[in-house]
Structure 1
Amino acid sequence: MKKIIYKCVALFLVCMFLAGCWDRTEINDIAFIVSSAIDKKKDQYRIAMQIPLVGQLGGQTGGGGGTAGSETWYVDSASGTTIREANNKLQTSLSRTINTSHRRTVVIGEAMAREGVAPVFDILSRNPQNRLTALILISQGEARDILNTDVQMEQFPAEMIRELAIMASKRPVFLSRFMSDLLEKGSDPYAPVITGSKTKPGGKGKSNLKIDGLAIFKKDKLVDIFKDDHMTAAQILLNQARQPEFILDLPNQMGKASIQLQQSKASFHAAEKNGKLSMTIEVRAKGIIMENQSTYETRENDQFYIIQKALNRAVKENVISTVHRLQKLEADPAGFQDQTIRSMDTKNLQKMKWDKVYKDMEIHVIPIVTIEQGGVLYKTISH
């Protein structure tokens, strides 16, 4: 009798471990989000999400915004008085459960960014499903339009957005890094700006995406977008410039030259005298002549050093102009305040009101940029 009881108990215990996948979630029941866009209009937040259509990824690439035919991705959106409410409304229109653990990029509309991005990071940091390794970008115009762009070189826009963000700087701006700059005292956040553009393969205009600026924040609010020379100089200040180029107008109207900087590095040193702060910025870099449309020869002679001197002057002028623009905005993405805290006596610093001190801070730029390569052709063919 005891043997029968033991066998029944053993059988019962074995059955407990053979319960199967009663709580399973099938992959075709999940909507994997690869990119999100967040906009705000008046008092309404609008969330847009991009979902790859896995069944279509093996077919023809390109096309967007639907489930019919050969489109490889689908974008849906919803609005609400809070981001969470908009997210919940979006879920009601999807037949699959939203999963953001594979999200690679988050695009925030310019209007939303100017009002403040704190609500975005509140919800992103509370839900453990949200990965803070996603990249953050700011769109000029509505962020939803970025997700709906029919890109040409990738299977869906999220991948294009990700690749552009990675190429925009030495260290891409992840959500975690943006949040760190936002919360820590001594520096302000920044992020790349993405916009829609037109490409003309074969002479026919087609939609595309491009990085078109650097978004500058003061605390959690977007205050300006730097482009062209100011964007380049800002990235040099941030030590994020990836091979920036300077197109120089050379002295005596001798033409132009394009110089690409390699291994650029900016370092800061703060000093205080009679209650006035000064910041010395040293920029070190190596340059390569990529194009020479001037009459100057690029071998090591006096003409070569004229080009090098013009390059140093351009770097200095651009950096000073960019810092002055940041001072007017009272934005500090380069971390001048943090560097001042490290360099100066804490007692003297506590007596100084940073906002006023920062606006009046004297700027000294020391460029140490040498041209190491002038190319095989030291003299232009046309001269």
Structure 2
Amino acid sequence: MKRSIAMFVSFFVCALLLAGCWSKKELTDLAVVIAVGLDKTKDGRYLASFQVVNPGNVAGALQRGGGAGGVPVSIYTSTGDTLVEASRKASKKLSRILYYAHTNLVVISEEVARQGLNDVFDAVERSHQFRPTAQLVIAHGHSAKEVLSVLTPIDKISANQIIKTLEFSEMARGQTINTDVWGAIRGLTSSGRNTVVTGVVIEGNPQQGKRQTNVQSSVPDARISLDGLALFKKDRLVRWVNGSTERGVLWVLDRIKQTNITIPWNGKKEAIGYRTVRVKTEVKPQWKKGRPSILVHIQTEGDISEAYVPIRLDDYRQLFQLEKAIGRDIEREVRQAIETAQHEKTDVFGFGEAVHRAHPRLWKRIKKEWDDRYFPHLPVTVKVEASIRRTGLRNTPYIK
């Protein structure tokens, strides 16, 4: 009798543990959303664009080796006063359930970014499906819908191309930055650091870019390209920076992996190229006469990549002068970036966080006025140590 009761209890417990997949969803019932775009309509409502994968067309295009077959993604749009409402209304246009677990890119229009992102990230962070590691970019000069609609020739899914371009550009060029949703939220909630996000633009004709012929030509009618850094103050975009100022921001943030610097020499502009291979930036807060100050110490090692003037690279005195010139050029870029951020009163470098870590009691007293009173007039000392490790296979250029 006891044995029968024990077996019955065991079976009952197993039945509870193996109750089945009560929340199961069949793959054929899901619309996998790879990217989300956010714009604003004329009446101030959200226009949400969802880039949904067409699985058969993606697999077919890969098997056929190119752009044959249908388009790999489809764009669905809906409007709403909130993002959740827009997402729910999109269900009227699809025969499947929107599934956000594989969403790895969020494209936000410049208009939405200038109006504020607090409402956007609140809805995103609360979702149990949406990943906070999704990459974030700002559509510069075009709508988010237009960016997601462009078909790309190499990576069949344009969202994947943008993500890979962000990754490889930051690694090789040093003028873009990977910012995910969680990093942006951290910048919004921190009182000592603001957010920096890379911008994307469309080169060419956006209307032609959404057609299948865009991936069937060796010269596409439209391409997606990275362009500029968006500087935020709290949750609002306040300034775009490009070129050397753009790289100056990344020098301070210690986000430079590899980049190429061209310096003048003997009266010739862009005479000698220097490629960094190792960079380390330290931000050290200091306290002088009752006010905070910052020391930015940059150490870089690199190689001579090109020389368009006659110079003896086997002469240590010449190399020493080159290292000084490279250091001055990096310092100039950093100072441009700091002056721009101070003019806009947005601490995108995290100087406030550094002060907080070093002097928590002081920070408690000044944090409310940091962006508007202390940061714009913050004394910043920039120290750059540039080293040349290799000069390539030729010490004496053949240019006479």
TM-score with structure 1 setting the length: 0.88
2:391 is aligned with 1:374: yes
Give how far 1:305 is off. Answer: 2.3
Aligned to 1:3: none
The 8 Å contact of residues 255 and 295 in structure 1, kept in 2 or not, is answered as no
CA distance in 1, matches of 2:215, 2:41: 33
2:370 is aligned with 1:364: no
Give how far 1:196 is off. Answer: 1.8
Aligned to 1:195: 201
Aligned to 1:318: 333
Paired amino acid for 2:180: F
CA distance in 2, matches of 1:247, 1:46: 43
Aligned to 1:142: 143
Corresponding residue SS for 1:376: coil
Aligned to 2:132: 132
Does the C-alpha gap of structure 1 residues 348 and 116 become closer, same or farther in structure 2, counting only changes over 3 Å?
closer
Aligned to 2:282: 267
1:188-238 Cα distance to aligned partner (Å, 9 max, x none): 111221222359999735322222122211111111122111111111111
2:165 is aligned with 1:164: yes
The 8 Å contact of residues 309 and 399 in structure 2, kept in 1 or not, is answered as no
Aligned to 2:226: 211
The 8 Å contact of residues 38 and 144 in structure 2, kept in 1 or not, is answered as yes
Give 1:199-348 correspondences, 5 Å limit: 204-253=219-268, 256-344=271-359, 346-347=361-362
CA distance in 1, matches of 2:190, 2:299: 27
Give how far 1:180 is off. Answer: 1.6
Paired amino acid for 2:55: V
Paired amino acid for 1:44: R
CA distance in 2, matches of 1:72, 1:265: 42
CA distance in 2, matches of 1:119, 1:347: 32
CA distance in 2, matches of 1:374, 1:201: 43
Paired amino acid for 1:339: A
Does the C-alpha gap of structure 1 residues 362 and 121 become closer, same or farther in structure 2, counting only changes over 3 Å?
same
Paired amino acid for 2:159: A
The 8 Å contact of residues 355 and 363 in structure 2, kept in 1 or not, is answered as no
Aligned to 2:35: 35
Aligned to 2:208: none
* 297-306 or 173-182: bigger deviation: 297-306
Aligned to 1:185: 191
2:84 is aligned with 1:84: yes
Corresponding residue SS for 1:318: helix
Does the C-alpha gap of structure 1 residues 272 and 48 become closer, same or farther in structure 2, counting only changes over 3 Å?
same
Corresponding residue SS for 2:56: helix
1:83-109 Cα distance to aligned partner (Å, 9 max, x none): 222212212111110000111111111
The 8 Å contact of residues 279 and 364 in structure 1, kept in 2 or not, is answered as yes
Corresponding residue SS for 2:40: strand
Give how far 1:379 is off. Answer: 2.1
Give how far 1:325 is off. Answer: 0.6
Give how far 1:150 is off. Answer: 1.5
The 8 Å contact of residues 153 and 216 in structure 2, kept in 1 or not, is answered as no
Corresponding residue SS for 1:59: helix
* 213-222 or 190-199: bigger deviation: 190-199
Aligned to 1:98: 98
The 8 Å contact of residues 356 and 363 in structure 2, kept in 1 or not, is answered as no
CA distance in 2, matches of 1:286, 1:113: 37
Give how far 1:163 is off. Answer: 0.8
The 8 Å contact of residues 270 and 278 in structure 1, kept in 2 or not, is answered as yes
Paired amino acid for 1:191: V
Give how far 1:366 is off. Answer: 0.6
Corresponding residue SS for 2:87: helix
2:53 is aligned with 1:52: yes
TM-score with structure 2 setting the length: 0.84
Give how far 1:342 is off. Answer: 2.5
The 8 Å contact of residues 50 and 77 in structure 2, kept in 1 or not, is answered as yes
* 181-190 or 167-176: bigger deviation: 167-176
Corresponding residue SS for 2:267: helix
CA distance in 2, matches of 1:129, 1:106: 14
Does the C-alpha gap of structure 1 residues 168 and 190 become closer, same or farther in structure 2, counting only changes over 3 Å?
farther
Does the C-alpha gap of structure 1 residues 347 and 298 become closer, same or farther in structure 2, counting only changes over 3 Å?
same
Corresponding residue SS for 2:226: strand
Does the C-alpha gap of structure 1 residues 260 and 202 become closer, same or farther in structure 2, counting only changes over 3 Å?
farther
More helix by share: 2
CA distance in 2, matches of 1:297, 1:185: 50
Give how far 1:19 is off. Answer: 9.0
CA distance in 2, matches of 1:166, 1:233: 19
**Structure 1 consecutive aligned stretches of length 4 or more whose deviation exceeds 6 Å:** 16-23, 199-203
Corresponding residue SS for 1:232: helix
Structure 2, unaligned stretches of length 5 or more? 172-176, 205-213
Paired amino acid for 1:296: I
The 8 Å contact of residues 263 and 269 in structure 2, kept in 1 or not, is answered as no
1:234-290 Cα distance to aligned partner (Å, 9 max, x none): 111111112122111224337611211222121122223334432211111102111
CA distance in 2, matches of 1:332, 1:299: 43
